[in-house]
Structure 1
Amino acid sequence: MIVRSRAPLRLGLAGGGTDISPFSEQHGGYVMNVTIDKFAYATIDPSPSGKAEFHALDARSEQVLDPDEVDLSAGPQQLMRGVYLHVADRLLGGRRPAVRVRAHSDAPPGSGLGSSSTMVVTLVTAFNEYFGLALGEYEIAHLAYEIERNDLGLSGGKQDQYAAAFGGFNFMEFYADDRVIVNPLRIKDWVWCELEASLVLYFTGVSRASAAIIDEQSRNVREGKSQSLEAMHRLKQEAVQMKEALLRGNLRRFADVMQSGWQAKKMSASSITNPLIDRIEALAFEHGAKATKVSGAGGGGFMMFVCDPAERVRLVNALAGAGGTVYDAHFAPHGATSWKIG
């Protein structure tokens, strides 16, 4: 039997950072996001070698290990090994199966599209299908969060796992004791189409490690730094405002909230922006952009811009000459899915 899975990457539209501890536990976090037609993929089948095999197809790297040798050490296969160990040791009663796991993503790590967490979600989804674990979306997302944050000790928030598991436009609420509420939004067709036509996705060419930025945000909250706390509360309220703008079809308001959120986000940590991002932002506004933000923690990765669809070509041409890459992206209405072959 062969099992395959995929999970969509996401764009953080508003409220990003308020899903991170300790802010979400102390104040509650709100995030507005949407998934796009870029995916993380996984395949699981019986191991031809009779061992545990992990193939990071993007990195052209593979590991073939005795099941008892699998550990959580760093490396291209770390996420795969982390999911394997969690499922085997906690859900399969300690049985470590001889399987082959192969995975790749449409976006590199550090892209700002939640690629690492999305990869964990698609791996959990594949194992869920392969072993008939009967996990639902909330359970898959929470399990992925536990693996990434607790088992592997990787810094980050919660929105990426839930976006990948549920898919579509979602307004998310994050509270203490790991309580998460996902509110799927029913977006009118014309709003969906207009927003797709208005959105430009640009990869700066610089992947960044989000952990340092996230750690700074968390430290600022713990230390009660007023500027950072004020910025986080603004981000939280702007997620509510963006939800209302989308449901009402007010895309001018959508752009205004995105830009305001970007200004607030830059106040939450010093490394969220840099001269490269500032230069690209200025260039974009000179060529028709109405709003911008960096997707994810900041510091690099993907930037998104909102423009009048009639100005899209002019903006794309300007960005194409800035050293990065412009990507087409369409919204993905469905979350993680899996299927069997044979």
Structure 2
Amino acid sequence: SREELVTIAKNVETQVLRIPAGVQDYYPAMYGGLNTVLLGITGDSLLRHSHILAHNLESRLVLVYSGKSRNSGINNWGVMKDFLDGNKEVQSHMRAIQEAAMDLEVALKTGRFDEAARAIEYEMEARKRLAPTITTPEIDELIAFAKENGAKAAKICGAGGGGCVMFMTAPSEKFTLIKKLRDRGTQIIDFHVDSDGLSVNSY
């Protein structure tokens, strides 16, 4: 089953890297679409959102390459260890990230995209306080430029330190933002929300 594949993938990653792995990377790839992953004491569950909501969100997103390969700006295991060891500062930042995720889900489900943008910004600021190396001067400059040209929010993807950055904007401003970024020399990554997830073809 897909649930079993998520567990297998997580456990393989844990064994290869020799640190605990999460499921947040595997559910989207396995199921596709726009989802909320709920991490509960009795196990994980997936709340799937409508294709219409996924399309509405996609129409507001611009994905770019920062110009530098990712160099893991955040040590997830180190953060988890600090959290469990009772580091109050880390715990505070993690709570802020949790609150932002919950606010984002509510905003998206109710179609309040301006509030969704604010939740993304709040999460990103908390994450930068948690690990300042998640960003770089070049990424900060890129984000500032995008916000001057219509971006409402920015999200550094993954562990940061390079890699990709996602911007949220109004649909009416999306193509202007893309043009401005291209004129700047920024690589735009064309993407679409996949609705099906993993498929395996046998020959």
Q: TM-score, normalised by structure 1?
A: 0.55
Matched letter for residue 46 of structure 2: V
Larger deviation, residues 275-284 vs 144-153:
144-153
Instruction: State whether structure 2 residue 3 is matched by structure 1 residue 141.
Output: no
Which position in structure 2 is the counterpart of 1:171? 36
Q: CA deviation at 1:154?
A: 5.7
Secondary structure in structure 2 of the residue aligned to 1:141: helix
Percent identity over the alignment is 30
Could you tell me whether the CA contact under 8 Å between 2:10 and 2:21 is conserved in 1?
no
- Report which of the two has the higher share of strand: 1
CA distance in 1, matches of 2:169, 2:195: 22
Which position in structure 2 is the counterpart of 1:285? 147
Q: CA deviation at 1:152?
A: 4.4
Larger deviation, residues 237-246 vs 320-329:
320-329
Which position in structure 2 is the counterpart of 1:250? 112
Do the aligned partners of residues 310 and 202 (structure 1) sit closer, same or farther apart at CA in structure 2, a change above 3 Å counting?
same
Do the aligned partners of residues 303 and 249 (structure 1) sit closer, same or farther apart at CA in structure 2, a change above 3 Å counting?
same
Q: CA deviation at 1:317?
A: 2.4
Do the aligned partners of residues 145 and 192 (structure 1) sit closer, same or farther apart at CA in structure 2, a change above 3 Å counting?
closer
Q: CA deviation at 1:315?
A: 1.5
Which position in structure 2 is the counterpart of 1:314? 176
Matched letter for residue 142 of structure 2: I
Matched letter for residue 194 of structure 2: A
Q: CA deviation at 1:294?
A: 0.6
Which position in structure 2 is the counterpart of 1:181? 45
CA distance in 2, matches of 1:186, 1:301: 29
Aligned match of 1:259 in 101, 112, 121?
121
Instruction: State whether structure 2 residue 137 is matched by structure 1 residue 272.
Output: no
Q: CA deviation at 1:285?
A: 0.7
Secondary structure in structure 2 of the residue aligned to 1:339: coil
Question: Deviations 1:7-41 (Å, cap 9, x if unpaired)?
Answer: xxxxxxxxxxxxxxxxxxxxxxxxxxxxxxxxxxx
Which position in structure 2 is the counterpart of 1:21? none
Do the aligned partners of residues 157 and 210 (structure 1) sit closer, same or farther apart at CA in structure 2, a change above 3 Å counting?
farther
Gap regions ≥5 residues in structure 2: none
CA distance in 2, matches of 1:168, 1:185: 7
Could you tell me whether the CA contact under 8 Å between 2:59 and 2:171 is conserved in 1?
yes
Larger deviation, residues 146-155 vs 159-168:
146-155
CA distance in 1, matches of 2:103, 2:147: 23
Gap regions ≥5 residues in structure 1: 1-135
CA distance in 2, matches of 1:325, 1:159: 26
CA distance in 2, matches of 1:233, 1:278: 24
Which position in structure 2 is the counterpart of 1:126? none
Secondary structure in structure 2 of the residue aligned to 1:206: coil
Do the aligned partners of residues 223 and 269 (structure 1) sit closer, same or farther apart at CA in structure 2, a change above 3 Å counting?
farther
Which position in structure 2 is the counterpart of 1:241? 103
Secondary structure in structure 1 of the residue aligned to 2:54: helix
CA distance in 2, matches of 1:157, 1:334: 22
Could you tell me whether the CA contact under 8 Å between 1:202 and 1:304 is conserved in 2?
yes
Could you tell me whether the CA contact under 8 Å between 2:74 and 2:159 is conserved in 1?
no
Q: CA deviation at 1:292?
A: 0.7
Matched letter for residue 297 of structure 1: A
Q: Which has the larger radius of gyration?
A: 1
Q: CA deviation at 1:150?
A: 2.1
CA distance in 1, matches of 2:171, 2:151: 10
Q: CA deviation at 1:298?
A: 1.7
